Amino acid sequence: AQSVTQLDSQVPVFEEAPVELRCNYSSSVSVYLFWYVQYPNQGLQLLLKYLSGSTLVESINGFEAEFNKSQTSFHLRKPSVHISDTAEYFCAVSVQAGTALIFGKGTTLSVSS
Amino acid sequence: EAGVAQSPRYKIIEKRQSVAFWCNPISGHATLYWYQQILGQGPKLLIQFQNNGVVDDSQLPKDRFSAERLKGVDSTLKIQPAKLEDSAVYLCASNLAGGIFQEQFFGPGTRLTVL
């Protein structure tokens, strides 16, 4: 069975500082990897995904994540965060197209000035 | 394009009462998912539909939970009778069917409080 571990439940940072949200997964088969973001009082939105190819994937708002197969990790990074990045971030895996996502417990990113 | 619609947004009930949630997926999306998100945890799949057929309901507590998608469009999730531990946000998601992974689009969720 697959599982996802998000190592930090809360990450407080100051505006313009870099941030890394950690995600490790467990699976005996190849996986697809995702980061979803949930802003306050809103639904889950896809931030970025790794399906195949380049192990470094980027989002339109400056986040990036790197798939590391040997370390079974998919950490999310941003070199300089904004107040508007304050949200809950979920890492998720899927083992094949069309199947449900398996989520981690989430990391709350709090950005202050 | 309209997103995934869910109603109600909030519901408060007493334990042992029944409750129903409704979801209308994005038009044309064949696959529909119901997830349960307990406070402090990530969403967990309850049931997955492909059109009006069930693909995966292995984690649905069938003694009290039921779901249907009769015409392959909107769906209803019911809990009867509710327990305190059912307090959670119930999320509906949908995507197109297909070989290459299609993004799942999530609705705003229904927050259920069982007293």
CB A24 within 8 A of CB A91: no
Question: In this predicted structure, what is the pLDDT of residue A5?
Answer: 96
Cβ-based contacts of B31 with chain A (< 8 Å): 98
Q: Which of B15, B23, B6, B35 is nearest to B72 (CA)?
A: B23
Of A9, A43, A101, which is closest to B109 when you measure between CB atoms?
Answer: A43
The Cα of B42 is separated from the nearest Cα of chain A by a number of Å equal to 4
What is the rounded CA–CA span in Å between residue A11 and residue B55?
37
CA B20 to mean position of chain CA atoms:
10
pLDDT of residue B99 exceeding 80, the answer is no
Task: Pull the structure tokens for residue B81.
Answer: 């009778």
Mean pLDDT of chain B: 92
pLDDT of residue B20 exceeding 70, the answer is yes
Question: In this predicted structure, what is the pLDDT of residue A25?
Answer: 95
List pLDDT tens digits, range B22-45: 999 999 899 999 999 999 899 999
At residue B100 the predicted structure's pLDDT band, cuts being 50, 70 and 90, is low
Which strand (E) or helix (H) includes residue B14?
none
Question: In this predicted structure, what is the pLDDT of residue A36?
Answer: 95
Interface of B with A (CB under 8 A): 3-4, 31, 33, 35, 40-45, 48, 50, 56, 91, 93, 97-104, 106-109
CB A41 within 8 A of CB A103: no
In terms of DSSP bridges, do strands B5-7 and B10-13 run parallel, antiparallel, or are they unpaired? unpaired
Please give the average per-residue pLDDT across B50-66, as a whole number. 93
List pLDDT tens digits, range A64-75: 999 999 999 999
pLDDT of residue A14 exceeding 90, the answer is yes
What is the rounded CA–CA span in Å between residue B15 and residue B115?
6
Question: In this predicted structure, what is the pLDDT of residue A64?
Answer: 97
Question: In this predicted structure, what is the pLDDT of residue A43?
Answer: 86
Share of residues in chain B with pLDDT > 70 (%): 96
Question: In this predicted structure, what is the pLDDT of residue A84?
Answer: 95
Of A36, A42, A100, which is closest to B48 when you measure between CB atoms?
Answer: A100
Question: In this predicted structure, what is the pLDDT of residue B98?
Answer: 59
What is the rounded CA–CA span in Å between residue B65 and residue B71?
20
3-class SS string, B32-98: EEEEEECCCCCCEEEEEEECCEEEECCCCCCCCEEEECCCCCCEEEEECCCCHHHCEEEEEEEECCC
Please give the average per-residue pLDDT across B105-111, as a whole number. 94
Please give the average per-residue pLDDT across A81-99, as a whole number. 90
Higher pLDDT, A97 or A16: A16
The Cα of A17 is separated from the nearest Cα of chain B by a number of Å equal to 26
What is the rounded CA–CA span in Å between residue B45 and residue A59?
26
Question: In this predicted structure, what is the pLDDT of residue B1?
Answer: 64
